[in-house]
Structure 1
């Protein structure tokens, strides 16, 4: 049977104490910051002549994440949860493939990278929908405020970063900051329900704010460095300790 799309969302947040539209003012408004970041970065990159079709796709996906998150934290229904989840995993997969192609072309293998990305996306969506959460020990899922769905994204982020580190690409610092801040954002998301009694608003809104910086660094790093010319051996290298 298909799920009732108008049923209440399976996701729970500390700030929501009623089914009202504005029951999560901090979570809802902070969601839209991603849209603002995408618009501002679009303007800045356009002025620098760094826009490309792939950069625009990443920005549209980032803005879609903000819109989807806003709908989830206001309507709080199953359909809003789907609208929230799909852009997130689309961004993870698309950015992972584009970043490997641009920053580590020597390590890029399209069939393998595509298969790995689809597995990560499928696992993430399944976890988000609750299909796998029921098979996961409750102590793991409940203790992380539903953040278990992002563990596959963490795995992909670390994997992509490792390949780029091997290529010693100049964007390594910005990408490293993006990956590190994503880890911090996950902490804010994971402790949301645990800190309800101490922080009535919860910490989920900090997940949104921190991820705004993550998107900025990731898209800036991708847009700032062009794809190596056809026939070049590899991406530009920078000196690293022990290299």
Structure 2
């Protein structure tokens, strides 16, 4: 159940690479208990936005609030400790570590005694990872690596999970599996910001959505209404 208080609030965010303005003053929010989709074409500025939120990219102007406080300028490691966790585009698994070791790395900022139990919980979500727990991550398929990247993120016990293009480059069958897992993670109580080029699947899953074009927010609203919008259907659903 959602509340009116934003878990994440981005206000007037601008990000530049040299003289190129990649993000041009966008504002949006994600409330506790929501699954929000951010859609847009390649190069729209979606990944840059996530990098700015997670401290991987410098912010030129604007502010980012998480849990009611500004986090602008904080490092990624500090934000993970606070429950703000991203699964990056391209997965970013530790190729020379086993599946089990990758999951343990996801809990690097933790010092509690529940890590083993949480690894078993991840194996419950991704049975294929359990079968291959001693396999090197670099020898897995792209879909399996995506599962591992998501499982590793869950090991940090996120309050807000940012997913950057989780279906990119995967087979249709694996895309189905990944979206099923995103839905399952959301049902388990994790708030999710899903960045996707697969607009149809992302909006079907979400409660609300934002459309990003050329570094700006061009549309926002309830996900089902965006799915029906002629402009969205023409630009992103091939109609």
TM normalised by structure 1 equals 0.28
**Which protein has the bigger helix share?**
1
TM normalised by structure 2 equals 0.28
**Which protein has the bigger strand share?**
2
